[in-house]
Amino acid sequence: MYVCICNAITDKQIRLAASRGATTVMDLTNELGVAAGCGSCRETAAEILSEHEHRNRRFEPVVFTPASA
């Protein structure tokens, strides 16, 4: 799906940029040109980044250590 009509950027391109390390809309602007025109795609691009981060978040196991008595 096209997210940024001004620069013909798709959600797949945004996800790929996120997988390469983009974490902010400014990163996407610098790499792909997202939100460099009218800016109406900014919110959708941010949602895609957030979704990507949430799906790829790595949780560290919680280790229980009993308190000394």
The pTM of the full predicted model, rounded to 2 decimals, is 0.78
The CATH number of whichever domain residue 10 belongs to comes to: 1.10.10.1100
Gap between the Cα atoms of 10 and 8, Å rounded = 7
Q: Which pLDDT does position 30 carry in this prediction?
A: 96
Q: How many residues does the chain have?
A: 69
Question: What 3-state class would DSSP assign to 66?
Answer: coil
The residue with tokens 């983009």 is: 22
**67 found inside a domain:** no
pLDDT digits (tens, 9 = 90+) for 45-56: 999 999 998 887
Q: Which pLDDT does position 55 carry in this prediction?
A: 85
**68 found inside a domain:** no
**C-alpha R_g of the chain:** 17
The residue with tokens 């109406």 is: 40
Q: Which pLDDT does position 69 carry in this prediction?
A: 63
pLDDT digits (tens, 9 = 90+) for 10-68: 999 999 999 999 999 999 999 999 999 999 999 999 999 999 988 877 667 778 888 87
Which domain, by its residues, includes 25? 2-56
Number of domains in the chain: 1
**49 found inside a domain:** yes
